[in-house]
Chains A and B, each alone.
Chain A
Amino acid sequence: MRPLLSVEDLSIGFGKDTPVVRNVNFAVNPGETLALVGESGSGKTISCRAVLRILPRTARLHSGRMILSGSDGDLDLARISERQMRRDVRGNRIAMIFQEPMRSLSPLHRIGNQVVEVIHLHRSTSEADAKREVLECFERVGFPDPERTWRSYPFELSGGMRQRAMIAMAMVAKPDLLIADEPTTALDVTTQAQVLGLMKELQQETGMAMILVTHDLGVVANMAEQVVVMHKGRVMEAGPAEPILRAPAHPYTQHLFNAAPKIPEAICPLRDGTEDLILEMRNVTKTFTMRSGKSWSKPTLVRACENVDLTLPRGKTLAIVGESGSGKTTAARIALGAETVDPGGEILFRNAPGAAPLKVHDMDRARRGLFQKQAQMVFQDPYSSLSPRQRILDTLAEPLEIHGIGNRAEHKARAAEMLRLVGLPVDMLTRFPHAFSGGQRQRLSIARALMLDPKLLVCDEPTSALDVSVQEQILTLLEDIRDARQLSYLFISHDLAVVARIADEVAVMRRGLIVEQAPPEVLFHDPKHPYTKALIAAQPVPDVDRPINLKLVAQGAGAPESWPEAFRFVGQDAPPLMPLDPGHKVRCHV
């Protein structure tokens, strides 16, 4: 078969530096999906953007041919004029969707306007016909009310819906090739499953080819026929997806596979019941009042957490898993005393075994200071959680300064010790954060949290901004530190696979409610709640034999009315959280 697009010997560089993409070759056949896989800095995004020549202004195409074949002859996309690129290729024969649906649509224009523009740019169609086409497209990508979508602004839609709008925008001109640059990375896992399903369906219907840029081997296994693995601007391994996924030949591909978090296989024995609890949350409810923009309408109440009961034994890891809006971060903030709770809730913290509990929900200034020394936080985004204007030493010493501990020399000694602990060279103390990679920054963030020698660490999605292989290292580091220093973790994540590895106990949250709670092995192999089942089913795994089960996802991630009888709400009230087996609680009617 003649490929639709074949890229040969592509090299791209910035200025006079060594090229960031070197002699890359790949080809996409009509109707097939090619996955460009790699970690950040691998050059996968630059390569796919080069096809449409949407590159940063300083980037230079050093060499390469990009042949797009068509019924009326071939085009070399590296050579054609800018005008022809605009008129015939961009948005017409090749469409593109981007990673961040939140920011890839103009906030000030209606969705309909932004989508119909594509038709008007490439064809002369009457206003009414174009609108009809767009509405059909909206319906096809799963908008229940296309007319309403036409009139909506992007900020009125959820992330998944915006990505559907982006897909509609790409599909409306019926392109031969769709380039999707990490299209689902910013989405929740159940939404990701549905969007991937939609893309696959559309592809089967229209017969278009797809280039899927991703870092996630699980997504590759679910979507691609061909795979190109890239690393530092070079192609490491290329070929049909199935053999590569079954038996990766190149060491780098194997490395990627090993780093990918996996769902645990064996069922471990249940842990013993000796309960020395470092943290206890009892009946915690948090209601936020959303003030509407108009002063005369009533404010709405949002329950971020509802009757949350959690216990964290000393030296263990308790994970809270949920999608955006599930209340998991609110729960973590409450545990740290950063958020007040509604009356009736209690958070108890025990500094040492048998010590008198400290009431986190009701602390005076002095006790708060003491508590803050015991409980620290590691944040999600290592890029924004370190001040770019402070040297590492100052960043690390700041907690000590705030609590008035030690002098300058002691600060330095302590900071050096912590750097060694997290596996960074000590001579980095005088540098600024911009000199560090994402993984190194997250190590710094951990080092800062450890400066005060806390007993409890709250980790809020500490690895979700990192590459898989770096994620692996950070998780290992967190595990090592926990065991070496007898730390206890409250671990917040949206990623079940990450949690499966590090947690002793997992609580699954949905819209402020814990729906199921169990040790990870039990949760993965015997999930009871439809929402938990949906989360597990939606997780893309790098295994061609285990595709995403969209039916399970749709059912569990949908409204509670679509759940089986035993899990449904009675009116507004959720069923109680029932202990089914020892250590396995499910929100259901028995």
Chain B
Amino acid sequence: MQILRYAIYRFGTMLLTLLLVSVLVFFIINLPPGDFLSNQIAELRATGQEAGVAKAEFLRREYALDKPLWQQYFIWMGMLPGPHGFSGMLQGNFGWSFEFDRPVSEIVGDSLWLTVLVNLAAVLFVYMVALPLGVLAAAKSRTMIDYTAAFIGYLGLATPNFLLALILFYYGHQYLDLPIGGLMAPEFEGEPMSWDKVKSILIHLIVPTFVIGTSGASAMMQRLRANMLDELGKPYVETAVAKGMRPSRMLAKYPLRVAFNPFVADIGNLLPAMVSGSVLVSVVLGLQTIGPVLLQALKSQDMFLSGFVLMFVALLTLIGTMISDVLLVLLDPRIRYEGRDS
């Protein structure tokens, strides 16, 4: 019950933080002088295309870009009525992309879910690789197993992701017949979900997951190893051995449980690091994720599009930290009972 209460409380603070973040995001996307439309108008005027100017002026009014900045913010958020009444983020209207001349929701629609999918797969990969390797390296510290694991880990950390991507594509295609680039075969793009499409996506996911996940996995493996080594020196481990436990079971039950805390606490950091870290990889691998879209939008000052993408990344981060906080409370009674009388 306590946990439910905490989760609700934590959700509340998350929403508050998100509100603050929205102010920051709006401020940041408005930092460069001018906006997409005023730039466009200036350009049109310079080239003498007066007809286009009228359309741009119309769009400016349409999206309240002629209003003071603070009003723009509230209209964007949907907290003040704009030219079309209450129609902003809160109402689910993410605005218009001037660059692509389409609503933002249409542009990001698919790539949003693909982003979540790719990153989720990468996070799973990180945990599935780092957990056993980290524990093994700690339990067999200062042996060949430890050194080998460390070597592979550092190799993963040190290799540039895009290089790894190219190498894997080449060999993956040559020996395993893995597809190159994209997140699904071209014929499925824009098609409704089907079993074949899912299969195609899964096969296409293999290389990106590996590429995005390796550095995270090796960093986490090293952290887990260090934590485990710390814990292995503690007296409660000795107590467990003196009870007559098998080493494998003892490791899993006692030190791993304790060393797991920072592991869980990392979820919050992992998500945003992967989203922003995967931008370059997405460009190189030709993944239809949100990364390349963000890059393009920032370059051309497409403010509603970039604003939305930034908000989305922030939301992922906040959800990540919330999940890790709630999990920590579940995992660690010391946090759970803080303040309870002993």
Contact = CB atoms under 8 A, between A and B. Distances in A.
Interface of A: 52, 54, 85-87, 89-92, 95-96, 98-100, 103-110, 117-118, 121-122, 153, 155-158, 166, 169, 291-294, 297
Contacts of A100: 235
B257 A155 contact: no
B117 interface: no
B337 A156 contact: yes
Interface of B: 234-236, 238-246, 253-254, 257-258, 331-334, 337-340, 342
Contacts of A109: 253-254, 257
Contacts of B333: 107-108, 110, 153, 155
B257 A54 contact: no
A156 B342 contact: yes
Query: Interface residues of A: mostly helix, strand, loop or mixed?
Result: loop
Given A106-B254, A156-B342, A86 B334 contact: no
Given A90-B244, A293-B339, A107 B334 contact: yes
B89 to A, nearest CB: 30
A87 B342 CA distance: 35
Q: Chain A CB within 10 Å — which of B240, B242, B333 has the most?
A: B242
A158 B243 contact: no
A86 B258 CA distance: 24
The 4 A-B pairs of least Cβ separation, nearest first, read A293-B339, A292-B339, A293-B338, A90-B244
B239 A105 contact: yes
Contacts of B337: 153, 155-156
A155 B334 contact: yes
B244 A158 contact: no
A297 B240 CA distance: 38
B334 A121 contact: no
Given A108-B331, A155-B342, A156-B337, A122 B244 contact: yes
Contacts of A108: 257-258, 331-334
Contacts of A157: 342
Contacts of A297: 339
A89 B257 contact: no
Nearest to A156: B342
24 contacts: A54-B238, A86-B244, A91-B242, A91-B244, A96-B242, A99-B235, A100-B235, A105-B236, A105-B239, A106-B254, A107-B236, A107-B334, A109-B253, A109-B257, A110-B333, A118-B244, A121-B244, A153-B333, A153-B334, A155-B333, A155-B334, A291-B339, A293-B340, A294-B339
Contacts of A91: 242-244
A98 B257 contact: no
A106 B246 CA distance: 16
Nearest to A121: B244
B243 A107 contact: no
A95 B234 CA distance: 18
A89 B244 CA distance: 7
B337 to A, nearest CB: 7
Contacts of A99: 235
A157 B337 CA distance: 13
Nearest to A154: B236
Contacts of A292: 339
Nearest to B241: A54
B235 A117 contact: no
B76 to A, nearest CB: 33
A158 B245 contact: no
B244 A92 contact: yes
A311 B342 CA distance: 36
A293 B242 CA distance: 36
Contact of A103 (B235, B240, B257, B342): B235
A95 B236 contact: no
A424 to B, nearest CB: 31
B8 to A, nearest CB: 14
Contacts of A293: 338-340
Contacts of A90: 241-244
Given A86-B245, A96-B242, A106-B236, 9 more contacts: A90-B244, A99-B235, A105-B239, A107-B333, A118-B244, A121-B243, A122-B244, A155-B337, A166-B239
